[in-house]
């Protein structure tokens, strides 16, 4: 007779995009029972939540929290302010450097803070986040030194066991993430990357272009794109 | 002819209690133009927001953001879960050690994360928070080492100038805060400390007892208490 093994819970930030879907699969492959956490933050591309729900269901996630927060109240981003256009380009290599207009002030800090609260109440000691090597340049709150600093703060912030961050894709390009995810059995057809509101991906925002370039480099057809 | 001096903005977390009212006055005394930030987080004592509004108005604060967030969704605290009672005692010295039931998981981290976002969009380089020496024992996210770690994370988190934390009351007892606030002209009659929902302070929760002890030690009648 074998004893039932209770898996250790871990909070996984799940956006509906490809990176967090792979991160969820990594958490499961490492034996964690994911508590998925998504945000409805009045983002232009609110449809991504539908994708997050589909990804979580397919992965058999037992608990998926969708928290409504109003990041639009403060403004300052193309993703939450209808008056600021989402930058468009023809090719991925045309995407410029610097902080893009799609940067949402302190968004990852707010997301991770909620994840910390959820980790504390669920007894999770790890928070998984799907940042990758290509995010580093543009978004300050995706850089490894930022994540390290958040982790040091998180370890002091709660009443229970210290909570740590895990960013298993942080050294990977998006092409590598596609391949890693294929190996883990991620169903990329359920994921959504576009920053725009439409049912069909616009194909020209940074998120669409970087995704297309990743699948092209990986030599795999994107199952979310109708040929 | 003198040039108009534009004051530097600073975000001030304002709960409606006495500590944050004094912190607001400190920020103003130091030449900052406060951007006040309060939270409606489904707390039992939602009336504190009315106090925060009164304090901000009396202080002539130009911008006061009240952000609605749902900390009750995760549970885990007497302040947000009607099923968990607020601890009551007869005297301040009966308040025990350890983490009290009124601790809200990761609350200060979430509050400070929103403050960071507001600092970024308003061009504020400082966030004022009213934690004090007596908070340290019970709440992990009031300890100086926690605040230091949050500050180091915040300095890396944003796209603009680094944002730092200021906790001007962190070494003071609540009695000292009463006296400091009196000197700064704070109208304590507008503030509210009770953890319960009633119009009148209950007089027996930790917040009521610590406040009463502070005014008694300072030798000043609490103007918020009807004799």
CB atoms within 10 A of CB A94: 12
- pLDDT at residue B191 is higher than 70: yes
Q: Does B149 touch chain A (CB under 8 A)?
A: yes
Q: What is the mean pLDDT of chain A?
A: 88
Higher-confidence residue of B187 and A225: namely B187
Show me where the domains of chain B are located.
Answer: 8-218
> Alpha-carbon distance B136 to B170, whole Å?
9
Q: Name the B residues in 29-48 with CB < 8 Å from any A CB.
A: none
Tell me the per-residue pLDDT of B9-33, one tens digit each, with 9 for 90 and over.
999 999 999 999 999 999 999 999 9
> Alpha-carbon distance B26 to B32, whole Å?
9
> Alpha-carbon distance A11 to A9, whole Å?
7
Whether B97 and A106 have beta carbons less than 8 Å apart is answered as no
Q: Nearest 5°: phi and psi at A203?
A: 85, -5
Distances B108 to A94, A186, A215 between C-alpha atoms, Å: 41, 36, 41
What number does CATH give the domain A8-218?
3.40.50.620
Q: What is the per-residue pLDDT for B100?
A: 76
Q: What is the per-residue pLDDT for B227?
A: 64
Q: What is the per-residue pLDDT for A5?
A: 64
Q: Does B74 touch chain A (CB under 8 A)?
A: yes
Q: Name the B residues in 52-71 with CB < 8 Å from any A CB.
A: 65, 67-71
Strands A126-128 and A32-40: unpaired
Q: What is the per-residue pLDDT for A3?
A: 56
Q: What is the per-residue pLDDT for B59?
A: 96
- pLDDT at residue B97 is higher than 80: no
> Alpha-carbon distance B128 to A123, whole Å?
31
Give the largest Cα separation in chain A, rounded: 63
Q: Does B116 touch chain A (CB under 8 A)?
A: yes
Strand B164-166's sheet: what is its strand order? B63-68, B32-40, B8-13, B126-128, B164-166
> Alpha-carbon distance B203 to B209, whole Å?
6
The distance from CA B178 to its chain's CA centroid, rounded to whole angstroms, is 14
Tell me the per-residue pLDDT of A128-186, one tens digit each, with 9 for 90 and over.
999 988 775 668 888 889 999 999 999 998 887 889 999 999 999 999 999 999 999 99
Q: What is the per-residue pLDDT for A136?
A: 59
Enter the pTM of the model. Answer: 0.87
- pLDDT at residue B50 is higher than 80: yes
CA dihedral A188, A192, A193, A198 (to 10 degrees): 150
In this complex, the residue of B75, B146, B154 whose CB is nearest that of residue A156 is: B146
User: Which residues on B lie below 8 Å from A141 (Cβ)?
Assistant: 156-158
Q: What is the DSSP string of B123-189?
A: T--EEE----GGGTTT-GGGSHHHHHHHHHHHHHH-SSSPPEEE-TTTT--HHHHHHHHHHHT--GG
CA dihedral A104, B60, B133, B154 (to 10 degrees): 20
Q: Does B107 touch chain A (CB under 8 A)?
A: yes
Tell me the per-residue pLDDT of B124-174, one tens digit each, with 9 for 90 and over.
999 999 998 877 566 888 888 999 999 999 999 888 788 999 999 999 999
Q: What is the per-residue pLDDT for B95?
A: 73
Tell me the per-residue pLDDT of A40-66, one tens digit each, with 9 for 90 and over.
887 777 888 999 999 999 999 999 999
Tell me the per-residue pLDDT of A194-215, one tens digit each, with 9 for 90 and over.
888 888 888 888 889 999 999 9
Span B73-90, mean pLDDT? 75
Cα–Cα nearest to A154, from B116, B155, B146, B130: B146
Which range, of A141-150, A165-174, B41-50, B179-188, averages the lowest pLDDT?
B41-50
Q: What is the per-residue pLDDT for B2?
A: 54
């Amino acid at each position: 007779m074998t004893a039932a093994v209770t898996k250790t819970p871990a909070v996984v930030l799940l956006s509906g995009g490809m990176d967090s879907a792979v991160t969820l699969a990594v958490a499961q492959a490492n034996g964690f029972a994911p508590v998925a956490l998504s945000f409805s933050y009045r983002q232009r591309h609110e449809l991504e939540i539908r994708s997050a729900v589909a990804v979580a269901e397919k992965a058999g996630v037992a608990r998926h929290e969708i928290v409504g927060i109003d990041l639009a109240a403060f403004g300052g981003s193309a993703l939450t302010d209808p008056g600021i256009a989402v930058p468009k380009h023809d090719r991925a290599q045309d995407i410029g450097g610097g902080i893009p207009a799609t940067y949402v002030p302190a968004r990852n800090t707010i997301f991770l803070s909620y994840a910390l609260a959820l980790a504390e109440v669920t007894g999770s000691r790890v928070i998984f986040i799907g940042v990758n090597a290509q995010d580093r340049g543009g978004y300050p709150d995706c850089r490894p030194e930022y994540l390290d600093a958040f982790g040091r703060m998180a370890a002091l912030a709660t009443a229970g066991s210290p909570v740590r961050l895990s960013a298993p894709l942080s050294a990977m390009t998006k092409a590598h993430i596609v391949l890693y995810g294929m190996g883990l059995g991620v169903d990329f057809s359920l994921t959504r990357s576009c920053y725009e509101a439409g049912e069909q991906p616009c194909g020209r925002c940074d998120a669409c272009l970087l995704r297309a370039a990743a699948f092209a480099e990986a030599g795999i057809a994107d199952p979310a794109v109708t040929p």
